[in-house]
Structure 1
Amino acid sequence: MQQKQRFIPEQGSIVTFTYKSGDYAGEVMETGGPRALIKVLAVLKHPEQGDLHNPYNPDVPMFHERRALSYTEKTNVPYGDISGLYPGEVPSYKESLTRAVAAEIEAIDRLKRWAERGLEQLRQLEKEYK
């Protein structure tokens, strides 16, 4: 089996990366060792809420709140979690954070509406099955 070639970015390059269920754009500050030090510039996808080991389960002992990494926060990222170079101009952090949290809210709201409609239909079927 052929091993996947890992992407090792150059210092100063702007990359996209995943960190704890969120996606970001950031500047590579240092490379070397098993991780790159990256400075956050924008939020591309807001981290998911809740227990990642029990997705969509609200009845877990600890329902985690996950905040996005802060503007210019530096984090060590394994090379495997770096997707590649960021294409184009990086949006402002505030604008990107606002869009990312709005998209996450919309996704959860859509899931909630889907669950409510499915529950309605199942309750109707339950009545018919009796």
Structure 2
Amino acid sequence: MSDENQVPAGEGWVRFTYKTGEYAGRLVEQGTPRSVVETLAVLRHPEQGDLHHPYDPDVPFFHERRALAHREKALVPNRDIQPHAAAELPPYEASREQAVARMLDELDRLQRWAARAADQLRTVASDYR
């Protein structure tokens, strides 16, 4: 391994979702219907805002969701836990930064799409006149 913070492959690595984030980690305690997992990497950063009103900035409470912390334990429904096959996991901090960058890229793309869609709709609307 090139980076001492990377976690080598090991048995029990899992991929799991928690709230709206996706993580890689280690199964700590198996239970029914939930198991305890330890967070080792962030694969997808949790979404911001009100999940019941997606893409609505005018909701009464715009939720802020932080990623699970490094080595934070979470009680996760078993249906949200899958085996995770990878040669190694990136360091937690790097994985979190990459997940944030990917989410910001997605939001930028959505913002650009919304602007183009609005322009196109204005053009179409002018044809209706």
1:91 is matched with 90
Which amino acid in structure 1 is aligned with residue 49 of structure 2? G
Structure 2's unaligned 5+ residue stretches are 1-10
8 Å CA contact 2:17–2:81 kept in 1: the answer is yes
Question: For residues 73 and 20 of structure 2, what CA distance do their matches in structure 1 show?
Answer: 17
Question: For residues 92 and 85 of structure 2, what CA distance do their matches in structure 1 show?
Answer: 14
Alignment of 1:1-130 (within 5 A): 13-130=12-129
8 Å CA contact 2:32–2:78 kept in 1: the answer is no
Structure 1's unaligned 5+ residue stretches are 1-11
Quick one: higher RCO (CA 8 Å, sep 6+), 1 or 2? 2
CA-based RMSD of the aligned residues comes to 1.2
Which amino acid in structure 1 is aligned with residue 72 of structure 2? E
Q: How far has the Cα of 1:62 moved from its partner?
A: 1.1
8 Å CA contact 2:12–2:83 kept in 1: the answer is no
Q: Which is further off, 81-90 or 43-52?
A: 81-90
Question: For residues 39 and 85 of structure 2, what CA distance do their matches in structure 1 show?
Answer: 12
Question: For residues 32 and 122 of structure 1, what CA distance do their matches in structure 2 show?
Answer: 52
Q: How many aligned residue pairs are there?
A: 119
